[in-house]
């Protein structure tokens, strides 16, 4: 099988899988980055959301071959550094968002793409940007509050 090179969280990675393999399983099974989750396999739940060149994509339905040359960011690469979490991650902890926590990596990745584009999102912006991410436990109220709170933190960091 041909070797594919990927750039994940700023690191170049080589993998020799079937080019049709969804990015999700390359991340999880080949690269050991298990933070990105499998939920539906049909781009319906958003648990597998990662960023490709900053855009949120569903890794469960994205053939790895289409990712060559793109910068992929997973939940493991969301924090600025091991000591400084992304403001969204801080807000998620402070608002005690997670219940089971399984969807939250995907939620955070979608939210990070939103804030990168719209630093001060309205509720409607949040509804649109987060529409692809299911939370079976029903933590949406806290997700919304945490996104607003993270937007405030980001503004402060930039100030």
Partner 1 sequence: MNAHLSPAALADETLRELMREVELGGPALPVRAVKIDRRHFLKLTGMAGGGLTLGFFVGSDARAAGEKGAADFSPNAFLRISSKGSILIYNKGPEIGQGIKTAFPLIIAEELDALWTDVVVEQAPVNPVVYGRQSAGGSRSIPDSWDQLRKAGAVARSMLLSAAAASWKVPVEECSTRDSAVWHGKRKLTYGALAAKAAALPVPDAAKVKLKERSEYRLLGKWYTGVDNRKVVTGAPLFGIDQQLPGLKFAVYEKCPATGGKVRTANLDELKKLPGVRDAFVVEGNGKPTELMPGVAIVADSTWAAFEARKQLRVEWDESAASKDSWSALTKRAAELSKQAAGDTTTVSVGTVADALKGAAKTVEGFYTYPFVSHAPLEPQNCTAWNHDGIIEFWSPTQTADRALTTLAGALGMPVEKIKINQTRVGGGFGRRLMNDYACEAGAIAQRFAGPVKLMWTREQDMAHDFYRPGGFHSLTGGVDATGKLVAWRNHFISFTTDGKNPVSGGNMPGEEFPAQNVPNYLLSQTLLPLATPCGPWRAPRSCSVAWVIQSFLHELSAAAHRDHRDFLLEVMGEPRLLPGGLNTARAADVIKLVSEKAGWGRKLPAGHGMGLAFHFSHAGHFAEVAEVSVDADKRIKLHRMVVVGDIGPIVNMSGANNQCEGGVLDGFSTMLGLEITMENGRVEQSNFHQYPILRIADQPKVEVHFIQSDNPPTGVGEPALPPVAPAICNAIYAAIGHRVRTLPLTKEGFSAG
Q: Which residues bind partner 1 (CB under 8 A)?
A: 17-18, 21-22, 25, 28-30, 32-42, 44-45, 47, 74-76, 78-79, 85, 88-89, 92-94, 96-105, 108, 126-127, 130-131, 133-144
| Residue 159 C-beta: closest distance to partner 1, Å | 24
Nearer to partner 1, 68 or 100 (CB): 100
Nearer to partner 1, 78 or 159 (CB): 78
Shortest CA distance to 151 belongs to which of 117, 106, 105, 103? Answer: 117
| Residue 84 C-beta: closest distance to partner 1, Å | 12
Shortest CA distance to 77 belongs to which of 9, 10, 31? Answer: 9
State the pairing for strand pair 11-15/4-8. antiparallel
| Residue 50 C-beta: closest distance to partner 1, Å | 10
Nearer to partner 1, 52 or 137 (CB): 137
Q: Compute CA 157 distance to the chain's CA centroid, rounded to the nearest angstrom.
A: 21
What are the two backbone dihedrals, phi and then psi, of residue 149, each rounded to the nearest 5 degrees?
-65, -40
3-state secondary structure of 105: helix
Nearer to partner 1, 39 or 159 (CB): 39
| Residue 27 C-beta: closest distance to partner 1, Å | 10
3-state secondary structure of 108: helix
| Residue 37 C-beta: closest distance to partner 1, Å | 7
State the pairing for strand pair 71-73/49-52. antiparallel
Both tokens assigned to 122? 């309205």
Q: Are 118 and 147 in contact (CB under 8 A)?
A: no
């Amino acid at each position: 099988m041909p070797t594919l090179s990927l750039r994940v969280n700023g690191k170049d990675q080589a993998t020799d899988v079937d080019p049709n393999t969804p990015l999700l399983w390359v991340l999880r099974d080949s690269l050991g980055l298990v933070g990105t989750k499998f939920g539906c396999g049909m781009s319906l739940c958003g648990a597998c959301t990662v960023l490709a060149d900053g855009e949120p994509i569903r890794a469960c339905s994205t053939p790895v071959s289409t990712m060559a040359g793109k910068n992929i960011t997973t939940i493991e690469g969301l924090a600025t550094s091991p000591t400084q979490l992304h403001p969204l991650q801080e807000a998620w902890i402070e608002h005690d968002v997670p219940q089971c926590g399984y969807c939250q990596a995907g939620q955070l990745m979608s939210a990070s793409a939103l804030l990168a584009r719209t630093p001060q999102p309205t509720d409607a912006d949040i509804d649109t940007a987060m529409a692809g991410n299911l939370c079976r436990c029903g933590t949406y109220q806290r997700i919304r509050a945490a996104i607003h709170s993270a937007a405030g933190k980001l503004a402060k960091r930039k100030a």
